[in-house]
Amino acid sequence: MTEKEWISYLKKYLLENSLVIKSKNEDCAVIKLNKNKYLLFTTDALIEEIHFRLSYTSFFDLGVKLAVSNLSDIAAMGGEPKWALLTLGSPHSIESSWIEPFMEGLTITLKKFGAFLVGGDTVKSPSFFINLALIGETKNPILRKGAKSGEFIFVSKPLGESSAFLRFIKKINSKDIPESVKLAHLRPEPEIILGKELAKQKLATSMIDISDGLLLDLWRICEESEVGAEIWEERIPVGKFAILEDALSGGEDYALLFTVKEENLKKVEKLSKKLNRSLFKIGKIIEEKKLYLIKDSKKLEIQSRGFNHFAKN
């Protein structure tokens, strides 16, 4: 099974409940507590040699990255992170030399965005892995399925430098990699503040975080919303040290990808000024259920591509 096929298979075992907000795939499970509050549940795992290598990742950075991968899911729903549970598996004994910097990176990052570690579990494992479960809250969850034809597509920051890091590390010493590239991969920033503002002002009709690549995550919005999209190559914000392919399919950017009605474009511009940051309009939602790249006035059909844990070779 591919990752997509596995998720589809899993759905038949999920609880049917009137309090669960139903959508095929979301960054978080959404539970309605009352008319003014929704709980957001997410979980994410990092496995050695799949998501990270200790040869170039410090334990502090590993803690940061685990926190961010979960915080970004909460951000994608317009939520505020609250409480976390940690599971850690290791083939070796737990030593203060590595557990202390790891826990510092994790808890400092959670606390920075208003979340706290409240418990967890440890096990002996054949390989090193870490998993975080995070609960958040929101008054207005933003789902993937709200995009409509004619709406505009935005991303929240330049893309591709996290992927560029993986290209660079194969060729040069990590000390020689540009600082912005190292930070993009090892210490990314979740878009909690922006996500909450988009939810509060009800500006985003759909939203997802870019963890598996722009094309793949945009297609997830399209599938949920039963629409297609065109993106404009010259408008895609490619990171300074990245190439276009990094931005399109590299993943782990943890940017927000969202859609906006034309009538709300000026409000998005005001929000950009309020937060003193750029927001990038990169394309438009269309009725035809396909992805197109507009390059030099030419319309090229493209396939969604990005990271897939269970991709068939």
- Which of 54, 83, 56, 90 has the alpha carbon at shortest distance from 67? 83
Give the per-residue pLDDT at 308.
45
CATH code of residue 294: 3.90.650.10
Q: Are the CB atoms for 54 and 87 separated by under 8 Å?
A: no
Instruction: Say which amino acid occupies 49.
Output: E
* Angstrom distances, CA of residue 163 to CA of 40, 169, 249, 269: 28, 10, 9, 29
Give the per-residue pLDDT at 4.
66
Prediction pTM value? 0.91
- Both 166 and 102 in a single domain? no
pLDDT digits (tens, 9 = 90+) for 14-34: 666 656 776 567 879 999 988
Axis-axis angle for helices 59-76, 192-200 (nearest 10):
10
- Both 206 and 120 in a single domain? no
Give the per-residue pLDDT at 304.
74
- Both 187 and 283 in a single domain? yes
- Both 134 and 156 in a single domain? no
- Both 186 and 134 in a single domain? no
| Mean pLDDT computed over 68-97 | 96
Rounded Cα distance, 35 and 201, in Å: 17
- 190 falls in which pLDDT band (50, 70, 90)? very high
3-state class percentages of the chain: helix first, strand second, coil last, to nearest 5: 35, 30, 35
In a domain, 24, yes or no: yes
Task: Tell me the residue range of the domain where 8 lies.
Answer: 3-138
CATH code of residue 87: 3.30.1330.10
- In the block, tokens 């609250």 appear at 82
Give the per-residue pLDDT at 98.
95
pLDDT digits (tens, 9 = 90+) for 250-303: 999 999 999 999 999 999 999 999 999 999 999 999 999 999 999 998 999 998
